[in-house]
Amino acid sequence: MAYTQIIGTGGYLPEKILTNADLEKMVDTTSEWIVERTGIHRRHIAAENESALTMAERAAREAMSDAGIAAKDIGMIIIATTTPEKMFPSTACLLQHRLGIAGCPAFDLNSTACAGFVYALSIADQFIRHGSIKYALVIGSEVMSRVVDWNDRATCILFGDGAGAVVLGASKKPGILSTHLHADGTYKDVLSLPVSLGKPGDIEEDLYIKMTGNQLFKLAVNILGNLFDETLAANSLTKADIDWLVPHQANIRIIQAMAKKLDLPLDRVAITLQEQGNTSSASIPLALNKAVRDGKIKRGDMLLLEGFGGGLAWGSALIQY
C-alpha cells in the first residue's frame, strides 16, 4: 500500500512585528485583555512588497530544500489562501512560474479559510496514494493584515501574516493515515469575508473579516471534540496514541480545551499563537515547521492536525510523521 509522507517543511514570517502595545495605540484595547482572552502577544505583518505569493515562495523553497527535492520533481502545487495574489491566475500558478516549472496541476483553495491547509493536504494525499503523482507542494499563505478592519478591536487583534509549506512524497512506510473533512453552511454568517463579485459594487465594510467570536468559540470546541473522536475511531486508536497536537492557532483557550480533550500536556501541543497570532491557513504548517525545526516533533511521532474556519469548514489529519 502506498502512503503519503511529509518529507520536508518550511515557513516564512515577515520581518515587521506588531505587538499588543502597538495595538493599544490603534484601538480601544489593552495587552492584558488580548493575552487573557486569546493568548496572543505579537504578530508578523507583511511589508508592502510582500504578498501571499512572495511568502509562499519563501516557505516552499525552504520545504523543498529540507526534502532534498528539486522543483522539477513537484507533481502538484496547492496553495490554501483566503488572501490570494489575484482572483486568477491562481497564486499556485504564479508560484509554479517562479519555480521555473510547468505542466503539473497548480491551484488555490481560496474559500476554506483556516481549514484550508488540512483540505489541501487531504486532496494532495489522494493523488499521491492513488499513484498519479509522486511529490506535491502544499502551502498555506496569508496576508490577513489586508483583510482586517484596523478599526475593529474585536478582530484586528487576532490575525497575523505568514506562510508555511510541506513537501509530500509517496512512501511505502506509513505517513498520512487518514484525513477527515467537513463543512456546514448553516453557520455561514458566524465568520465571513463578504467581499463579492456576485453583486454590483461592494460596500467598504464587505472588504473586511466579520466574526461573531463568542459563538464561533463554542462551535469550535464542540466541533473539534467530535472531530477528534471521529479521527481516532477511524484508525482504531485512543487518545493515548497521540504524541502531538498540531492545531489551527485561533485562541489559546480553544487549544487548551483541545489538549484537555486528548489528555495531552501543553508541551505536547505545537503552539505559535503567542508570537504569530492567527495566520489562517498558514497556522498549521507554520506550527508544524517550528516544532520540527526545534527538534520537538520527531520521525515516527503520531500527529493530529486540526483546522476550522469560515464556512464553517473543518478537518483533521492523522499522521505518523
Question: Can you give the binding site for ligand ACO, defined by CB under 6 A?
Answer: 29, 33-34, 37-38, 113-114, 153-154, 157, 191, 213-214, 216-217, 220, 250-251, 254, 278, 280, 309-310
Q: How far is the CB of 143 from ligand ACO (least distance, A)?
A: 12
Secondary structure letter of residue 15 according to DSSP: S
For residue 8, list its beta bridge partners: 167
Q: How far is the C-alpha of 256 from the C-alpha of 301, rounded, in Å?
A: 20
Decide whether 10 or 309 has the Cβ nearer to ligand ACO.
Answer: 309
Q: How far is the CB of 127 from ligand ACO (least distance, A)?
A: 25
What is the gyration radius of the CA atoms in the chain, in angstroms?
A: 18
Closest CB to ligand ACO belongs to which residue? 309
Q: How far is the CB of 16 from ligand ACO (least distance, A)?
A: 20
Of 114, 156, 251, 289, catalytic: 114
Of 44, 93, 104, 248, catalytic: 248
DSSP 3-state of 155: helix
Decide whether 166 or 250 has the Cβ nearer to ligand ACO.
Answer: 250
Decide whether 11 or 140 has the Cβ nearer to ligand ACO.
Answer: 140
DSSP 3-state of 152: coil
Length, in residues, of the chain: 321
Decide whether 72 or 150 has the Cβ nearer to ligand ACO.
Answer: 150
289 has catalytic annotation: no
Decide whether 104 or 216 has the Cβ nearer to ligand ACO.
Answer: 216
Cα–Cα distances in angstroms (integers) from residue 265 to residues 257, 271, 290, in the given order: 11, 12, 18
Q: Which of 9, 7, 4 is nearest to 286 (CA)?
A: 9
Q: How far is the C-alpha of 47 from the C-alpha of 28, rounded, in Å?
A: 25
Q: How far is the CB of 266 from ligand ACO (least distance, A)?
A: 17
| 117 within 8 A of 307, measured Cβ to Cβ | yes
Q: How far is the C-alpha of 68 from the C-alpha of 74, rounded, in Å?
A: 12
Decide whether 4 or 81 has the Cβ nearer to ligand ACO.
Answer: 81
Q: Which of 88, 165, 78 is nearest to 128 (CA)?
A: 78
114 has catalytic annotation: yes
Q: How far is the CB of 130 from ligand ACO (least distance, A)?
A: 30
156 has catalytic annotation: no
Q: Which of 254, 261, 266 is nearest to 226 (CA)?
A: 261
Which three cell numbers mark 295?
527538534
Q: How far is the C-alpha of 310 from the C-alpha of 116, rounded, in Å?
A: 10
- Residues with a catalytic annotation lie at 114, 248, 278
